[in-house]
Structure formats: C-alpha cells, structure tokens
Amino acid sequence: MSSHQVIIIGAGIAGAATAWSLKQAGVDDILIIEQEAHAGLHSSSRNAAILRTAIEQPALTQLAIESADFYRNASSSFSAQPLIDEVGLFITAEKDSSARWMPSSPNSSVSEIRAHYPDFTDQDIDVWHFANEGTLDIHGLLQSFLKGQTVRNNCKVDELLFNNDIAAGVRCGDEEIYAQQVVIANGGWANHLCSQTGLNQLFRPHRRHLMVSAPLAQITHDLPVVWATGSNEFYFRPESGGLLISACDHELVDPHYGENIDPNIIDLFAKKTEYWLPSLSHIQPKHLWSGLRTFSPDNNFIVGPDPSINNLYWAAGLAGHGMTCAYAVGQMLSAWMCDKKCTHPSANDLLPQRLVDIPRLASI
C-alpha cells in the first residue's frame, strides 16, 4: 500500500498536462497510473498533429488560443525544440453555412489554396487562412509535460476508493493505492469508473481513420494544412513526402476495439478525396490507422470537480482537441485542485455539474 498527494488516472495528454500544471503549482507527490506499457499510446499519439484554434464551441476556442500561445513561446526548459511548425492553416466552409463559430469574416480564397495544391477543388466556398497555425509536435509536447513525472505503466485502475463521499485512492488488481486527490483523465476508458461518480457514464468514444499516401512529386513538407468543414468534412497536410488525409469518419465504438481498421474505410477515403482533390482520388494508403476521440453529450470538455464526490476531479471528453488545448486544461484543473476555485472565463461551461441529469448511456 502506498499513499500520494495526487493520483492521475491516464498518462495521455490530459493527465500529463494536469500533472505538469500541478507540479508548477508546488504539488510534488504525483503518481500517474497508465494501463498501457507507454504513455500516450492511444488518442494522444494517433491523431493528425494539426494545430487549429478555431473550434465550434467558443469555450474551447479560448482554451486553444491560450494553449497555442504557450506552445509558441515555450521556454527551452520546457521543450528544447519548437513545438509548432507554422506552415499555415486554411479552413473552408460551404457558402451560407452555419460557420458562425469562425472568428471573423472569410479572409482568403480557393485560389490561394490552389496556389499550394493545384489539385484542390474549384468550388465556390468560404475560406479562412490562419498564417501562424499548422502542425504540432505531439510527441515532443507529451514528453515535455511528463518530464520529471512518476508514471506507473501496465497498471489498470479497476475501481475508485472512497472514505464516505470523499475520493481516497484507487484499486489496481489486489493493490490499493491511496491519495488525497484523484483525477480521472483516461479518455474513452473512463466509462467503467463513471458508475461510481456523479457523471453516470457520459462519454462517447468515436473512431476516426487517417492515412498517409505514398510520396507525391508535388508535395513538399512546408505546404499548409487544409481543413474543409461541412457535410463533406475532410482534411489533409504534407507528411513523409505524401499527404496525410482524414475522411473525418465518426463512428461510436467500444474503446477497446476503436483502433481496429474498418475494411470499408478506403471507399470513403476515395469518395472524399475525389470531391476535394479530384485528380488524386486514385491515391492509396501507404500507412492507415484509426484513433479515438471521446465526447461528452454537449461536445464540451469535462474539466473540474466531480459534482458528488469530494477530492475527485475530471479532465476528460477532449473530443480530438486534447493536444491543442492541453496546457489550458491543465491550468484550469490545477486551479480547481489547489485553490478550490477557477476564475477562467470558460470554467463554468466545462464543469461536470452541468451533466449530472443526463440519462445513463446504454452499453456500447
């Protein structure tokens, strides 16, 4: 039996950023418990590494902007290498669509995208350009947050431990590990713990496939990212001499099987590539994988104290924006845990309390 100030369940980006923020606030005795052999094996390392701060939920846009500023100006003691490659990001939306969540009026055009990617469609769509965004070093970021942290790998949390209505630790197999505070930050795997808390199994893990094509003569590493939103959502960027592409599929899955490849996904890739990059519809994947994105019912993050269990906290449901928003999420949760309050303007929008009346989801 051991005891700690804080136990964090999950060594992905949410748990890592929370641990780093707590350490910056003076909390030294932190144990991160990770069920896998290495940190960040799932959502945190199986994404497209795109930095995009324009997000449909205004509360999340604020977190993304703050986090991007931190990554952009990170000290050499945090990361020896730059974390952002500012190749630029184009976001498109259908004319007269519901893209009112975009931060301003369109400031670019299809012709500007075609100057970089001549194969891009010539449809009449709205285009925004974000010159100082692009790609994020996801592995470098995760390791920077985990630097100096104590991570116990190959250790699955089976249940939470309580002292009356106060979180007191976790049970892993036959071992009980105690703590003054507990953080649930294990993404799509959090549902098995929800029945012990006030959240009532709210998380919805979804699978999304990505592929990297074989090298293409016209593709260079410094080309911008393009993200087409709307009914034919699709994004692409340079990778390894070819294109990294996602058809933006969105399938509810059991997290234990969410990284299995759907054999029909190639047809969807071909269909959407033909729509956005017509002359490249023939390209085949050199590498193909899928990753999880875990959502709450209202698609906002769940960050803050549990509504019914004292000393239990949440950093979950980051819905594919975990890397982009991780710094701000960690800062917010650290404030809740250390100061028992958080003055961030997005704090109330992300509180778990808002979801306590949502009915329990059926088993996936």
User: What is d(CA 309, CA 312) in angstroms, rounded to the nearest whole number?
Assistant: 6
And the tokens for 20? 């780093």
Return the domain boundaries, the chain.
Answer: 2-45+139-202+297-355, 89-130+205-294
And the tokens for 340? 């028992």
- What percent of the chain has pLDDT above 70? 97
Q: 2-45+139-202+297-355 maps to which CATH number?
A: 3.50.50.60
pLDDT digits (tens, 9 = 90+) for 48-76: 999 999 999 999 999 999 999 999 999 99
And the tokens for 204? 């919805």
Highest mean pLDDT of the ranges 32-41, 78-87, 191-200: 78-87
Q: Which residue from 145, 169, 252, 172 is spatially nearest to 207, judged by alpha carbons?
A: 252
**Backbone phi, then psi, for 160, in 5-degree steps?**
-85, 150
The H or E element that residue 139 is part of is: helix 138-146
pLDDT digits (tens, 9 = 90+) for 238-263: 999 999 999 999 999 999 888 899 99
Does the structure show a pLDDT above 80 at 364? no
Name the pTM for this structure: 0.95
Does the structure show a pLDDT above 50 at 282? yes
The H or E element that residue 170 is part of is: strand 166-172
Q: Which residue from 318, 43, 68 is spatially nearest to 208, judged by alpha carbons?
A: 43
Confidence of residue 201 (pLDDT cuts 50, 70, 90): low
pLDDT digits (tens, 9 = 90+) for 174-192: 999 999 999 999 988 999 8
Does the structure show a pLDDT above 60 at 362? no
Radius of gyration for the alpha carbons in the chain, expressed in angstroms and rounded? 21
89-130+205-294: CATH topology: D-Amino Acid Oxidase; Chain A, domain 2 (3.30.9)
Q: What is the DSSP string of 217-230?
A: TT--TTPPEEEE-S
